[in-house]
Every structure is written in structure tokens, then in C-alpha cells.
Chain A
């Protein structure tokens, strides 16, 4: 179940995200995550977030725990006048990036850093789009905490 990041993965993600660095002591990637992405025929969005990607925060989680550490999402919620939960932030400050029971659909062979980096891009695109255009680019999942990782 644990998300194992080997040297090749590490080199790959640091090449993709050159403003992030690996913090060995915490098995975490910390820094600015940038992207330039487009969902279907929607607008192109280029943006960046300061993230901490904690690879072994919860040993039973198949995905790293991602926290936005620049205060951007908290500000966004105040600016838009909506709750941080509606911007998919858990009570502990981590991002709700996928419904656990849908993990296998997106990660059929278990955790893969390349899929994860792309997944994170789609999640951040969702947030930036919501902020810029005042609407969701695709529907977020409904509220509910009854799902679990298989």
C-alpha cells in the first residue's frame, strides 16, 4: 500500500518540477509546483502552488499526502466566500485529491509518480479554474466520508 518513491522517480519529478526539492529526513517533496494545462476545450491555465508532498505521512495510504503551504487555498476560500472544504481541503489541511474507492480506477498498478504528478496537475487546474471563472471545470465529488481505500 505505501507509496514508494525510488531514485528514478525522484529524479523524474524534480526534472518536471524544478522548483521543488526533496527533503530526505521527511521523505517529502517541498516547493513550488507549476503547471500549464487545459481540460478538454476549456481555457488554458498556468499557475503555481507551494506544496508539501509527504510520501509516508500515513503508511497505509497508497497516495502521498499533499498540503498547500503557501496559504493560497485558505485565501481563495475567503476571497470566494466559500468553505475550504468546498475547495477540497481536509480538516488537517491536506488536499482531498481523490475519492479513496476510485483509487484503483486511476492507479490500476498502484502508486505511480508519473500518474500522480499528472493527477495533481488536474487537481490544481480545478482549483485555479474555480477561482478564476467562479465555477467548477468538472464536478467535484459530493460530500461524504464513507469511502475507503481498497
Chain B
């Protein structure tokens, strides 16, 4: 099982070329904005990466809705210029980007972001122009409800995730990717990436603070679904999806314990899709089943 989970993680982890492509895309966007707002070359201090590319948890294959989230720091004078017209800033960003990117690339501005959809069908970039305050939080323009500036603090969840990941020996990161693969394989499930990262962080901090070996990842997955299932309401839109995943993973665990690796991997492919590797062989020996109709009751002191 350890080898299969290792291969599974490998199958959903971005390749070096994909990481390079993401970097090229967001640096290109920020370089364009540097030219426009600062009349300078690309300055990496003006960008602040957040979301899954910061947490290193994006999964492949790359899909159209997969965005690199980046904040672009504006200076105080730009903030003052748009203090009473936040939507105007998004339009200026959009206009600046339109000058660089060709007509085949799509640039949209709405809500709080400007989205650049590249025609090559790979990474998109979602850029949020933001003014950094003295306390490290950001003010971001929001065009909804007549327009306003909202406080945005991406640093706290990033730190919490990274601390958990460090102490758990990368379990937080790997489990987040596995849960994202499940989400992707469950088309009607609504489970935002940031919420997955939050839930996984809480779970790992509580249950596996020191991490887990790849050999016990099936137990980790089983425990994650049981943990979440025990904490959500039956009215939660995720409830039935989590219940289904839990049942399938429990079944896979049972198969695995019985040495039926082929059946176990088939169950896990129902959960994660064909990114989970197939197993070709079962164990030869089968366990004998003990049946009992009477048993002492476990006792509580």
C-alpha cells in the first residue's frame, strides 16, 4: 500500500515543467503591472503568492478553473487615487494587462480579482491588486455592493498550514492534495480549496501532529473522512459525498486487511479517480474468519 500511495502522490503532484509554467505566468502578469504602476522591471517584492500555489498543493492534471492566486502590491498614492473608487483600480489593472496580452487571452475583472485566462489552456492567473498595511494585512478592492475596500489576511492561514506541514513531515501537504484529488473526482461536490486546507490542517494537528508513514496513508484517509463525517451536519451539502467516500475507504481498508489488494485499489479509484494506481495481485493466503455469537461486554471503569 505504501508504494501505491507514493505513486498516487506522484501522479497528482505538478511536474517541474508545470511549476515553471505557473511561475512564468504569474511573473509575466506582475512584470506587466510593475511596468504600468511603477514604470520598472519585474520586482518580485511587489508580488505575494497565496492559495494552493503558495501552499504547494495544486494537483494535476491542470484543469481550466485552476488559477494561480497572486496579490500585486500597489503603492499608497495608487490606493489614495482609488480610495473612493475601488472598481476603478480593477479596471486599470485589466487595461494594463490588455495592453500586453493578446486578444486570444481572456482578461476579466469582477468582484475582487482580475483573471487572466491564457489561450494555451494551462495555468490562469488571478491577480488581486492590494495595498499592504503596517500590520501585514492587505486592503483589497471589492466592486460588489457599490464598492469597498476589504481587509484580507492571507498570512495567518499560510503560516498555520506551513507550521502544521513542517511538524507533520509534509503530511498536511500530501493529505490536502489527496483530498483535492477526491474533490476533483466528485464533480458535484462543493468544497473550496482553502476550506480543504483548513480542515486538513486541523485534522493533522489533532490526530497526526507528528505525521504518518506512507504505509499508513490508507488509515490516515479513512480517519480523515470519519473525522469530518463526525463533525458536519446532515444538512451540509458535503454530507452525502463524505459519507460515500468514507464507506468506500472503509471498504478498501477491509479489503486491504484481507489481502485483497486489487479490490482495495478499485475502491480507492472510485474515490480518487484513475490517478490512484491499480493493483495487479492479491495475497495468496486468506485469513480464517472467526464467528462468534456471544462475547463478554467491554467494561468501563
Contacts and interface: CB of A to CB of B under 8 A. Distances in A.
Given A36-B288, A75-B223, A138 B297 contact: yes
B301 interface: yes
A39 B293 contact: yes
Contact of B293 (A40, A98, A125, A131): A40
Contacts of B297: 98-99, 138-141
A88, A119, A123, A132: most-surrounded residue (chain B CB, <10 A)? A132
Contact residues of B: prevailing secondary structure: loop
B287 A78 contact: no
Interface in A62-92: 75, 78-81, 85-86, 88, 90-91
B134 interface: no
Given A79-B227, A80-B230, A81-B230, A36 B290 contact: yes
B250 A132 contact: yes
B292 A36 contact: no
Interface residues of B, number: 26
B47 to A, nearest CB: 39
Given A34-B287, A38-B289, A38-B290, A138 B299 contact: no
Interface of B: 206-208, 223, 226-227, 230-231, 250, 254, 257-258, 287-293, 295-301
Given A45-B254, A141-B299, 13 more contacts: A37-B291, A38-B290, A46-B257, A75-B207, A75-B208, A75-B223, A79-B230, A85-B300, A88-B298, A97-B298, A126-B295, A131-B226, A140-B297
